[in-house]
Amino acid sequence: MYDSDLNSGFVDSQAFDISRQWSDITVLHHSDNGYTQVLRAKRYGKWHTLKCLTKEAAGNPRYQTLLEKEFEIAYQLNHPNIVHTYGIEKIQDYGWCIVQEWIDCEVFNYQQQKNILRNELSQLCDAITYIHSKGIYHRDIKPENILVEKHTNRIVLIDFGLADKTAFDILKEPAGTTGYAAPEQLRQTTTDNLSDIYSLGKIIQLTGYWKYVANKCTQSLPHKRYQNAEAVKRAINRQIKWQYIVAIALLLGLGTVICFQQQFTQQQFAQQQSKDIKTLNQTVNEYQSTFNTLKQQTADYSKEQNRRDSLRNQAKHQTDLLYIAANISDSLKEEILAYAIARYDSIRTLYTYEEAKNACSEWKKENQAYSRNSGKKAASAQTGYVAEVLNTYSETTLPQTEKKVLLQLNQHLINWRRQGRNTQYKIPEYKDGVQ
């Protein structure tokens, strides 16, 4: 497939029917005493703000020149806290209009929390610092010309209708809003950045905070004011540090008073301390006596505990001897049974399988009887049992081999009885009752 086969390339502009015309034009503000009005209109699906002359002022060349001057000043500004100006064009029924960005906002509210006002005033100072760096003076800073964008709290400075620039030489005349304009601004044809500092101080006064900053901004003599908006911003943000300084000073003063009071009562404190030491020594002596008594009681208890442990060990030793004596019979019976099984082939004519089982049962019964009797008696019972087996068979009926086996068993029992008698007096070392 070649590129020529693909549907790529430039699109014919006639395929789009996008109108450059403005729609949904609405009047937002009409100045009764001024010469401009503010509109909201839509183009390309986006809202814009339009500023134009009123119908009464539309034919006045002086007002037309003021509108052109405002556009020339506002168009060269590019700052996030200053309304953005896109251009100027002529619109049917409204004449020449300055096209600006549309801001979903509300008018600056100076009755808010201090932290919020500090942030908003800092943004306003940034905007004023920027326009002053361009040699531009707003000359109409007031709450109505400060907007706060919803959801972002971005401060936007608007309305440069009375703004002036050092490089401009047209329409130099006193201007401003009473209550916010500096005294020299209302009587002089030219002003400087200190007039905007005065207006900024008036706005700070409305908040009720930073009274020192506001008073310095609104000094009647310009040279006594802050010399730029950046200094005002630093002063506003520095107020919180002064609060900490005052708090520290109060704490230091309180500490000084406490130290003075301690020195003043040092002698009384020394006397009271001497009494407390004596009381403490007496208490220590009482505790020492109590401790000695407890120590003696502990020693007596330790002796008694050792005596009881000795008796307990003796009883345990006796119990171990009984346990060992009891296990001697069990070990012997297991040994006899193993011996009989090992010789089963030679005595099978004497014992059947059932008789061997019965013999085992008899040995178990005797073991139970042994637990209730002494080892000597149980040993005699074993010996007697083997003798009884020997007497049961005569020499003619009992083969010589089987008779020899039984005699060996009988001799083994006799030897065990002798060993058991000796072990009653000589017991080897055992641990926890287990050999």
Render pLDDT for 212-227 as a digit per residue (tens, 0 to 9).
999 999 999 999 999 9
Of 131, 140, 183, whose CA–CA distance to 159 is shortest? 140
Q: Beta-carbon neighbour count of residue 15 at 10 Å?
A: 6
Fold of 105-241: Transferase(Phosphotransferase); domain 1 (1.10.510)
Determine the pLDDT at residue 404. Answer: 56
Q: What is the pLDDT of residue 344?
A: 43
Tell me which residues of the chain have a pLDDT lower than 70: 1-19, 169-172, 189, 239-247, 255-265, 267, 311-435
pTM for the model: 0.54
User: Looking up tokens 């004023």, which residue turns up?
Assistant: 128
* Neighbour tally for 71: CB within 10 Å: 20
Instruction: Map out the domains of the chain as residue ranges.
Output: 21-101, 105-241, 306-423
Phi-psi region of 210 (alpha: psi -120 to 50; beta: other; left: phi over 0): left
The angle at the Cα of 324, spanning 320 to 326, to the nearest 5 degrees, equals 115
* Helix/strand/coil for 179: coil
Q: In angstroms, what CA-CA distances link 126 with 9, 270, 377?
A: 47, 63, 117
> Is 424:325 a contact under the CB 8 Å cutoff?
yes
Could you tell me the two tokens for 36? 């401009």
pLDDT at 367: 53
Residue 146 has a pLDDT of: 96
The CATH superfamily of 21-101 is Phosphorylase Kinase; domain 1 (3.30.200.20)
Q: In angstroms, rounded to a whole number, what is the distance separating the alpha carbons of residues 361 and 385?
A: 13
Owner of token pair 């073991």: 367
Residues making up the chain, counted from first to last:
435
pLDDT reported for residue 47 = 94
In order of 1, 3, 7, 16, 84, the CA distances from 11 in angstroms are 22, 16, 10, 9, 32
